[in-house]
Amino acid sequence: MFRKALLLGVLGVMGCGWLAAGDNPTKKKIESWRQTARAAATLVQASIKCDVKPKDAQVFVDGSLVGTARDFNSSDHPLYIFPGEHVLEFRHPGHESYSTKLNLLPEQDMRVKVRMNKVK
């Protein structure tokens, strides 16, 4: 709810109300709006850098697949997640799954380092 209100507020501040029938904003302007909206949405989120081996391990948040560890292994591209309690899980064929419970705070930056053990 807060995120939606924040996003709508940002879009309102950016002047989306000026669009009238027949107006055609440029791709550059649309991309600028998207970047501003993304930046506003990340203000209240926590970020997790996933330092996981193997790098192509699947990443699950609260049971939903969100990508691979490689997708979220840098400070430039962390996993953004809303504050609160979450279950973070890594799965890879031939390896034991790793799962941990997190209680994240707004704007918290975290690094998760995991070396998954091969199944014997």
Mean pLDDT by 10 residues, the chain (120 residues): 43 47 71 74 83 96 95 90 95 97 94 94
Q: What is the extent of the structural domain holding 36?
A: 2-14+25-42
Domain match, 80 and 36 both = no
Q: How far apart are CA 114 and CA 116, in angstroms?
A: 6
Count of domains forming the chain:
2
Domain match, 52 and 108 both = yes
Q: How far apart are CA 90 and CA 57, in angstroms?
A: 6
Q: How far apart are CA 117 and CA 120, in angstroms?
A: 9
Domain match, 56 and 35 both = no
Does any domain span residue 10?
Answer: yes
pLDDT at 91: 97
Does any domain span residue 19?
Answer: no
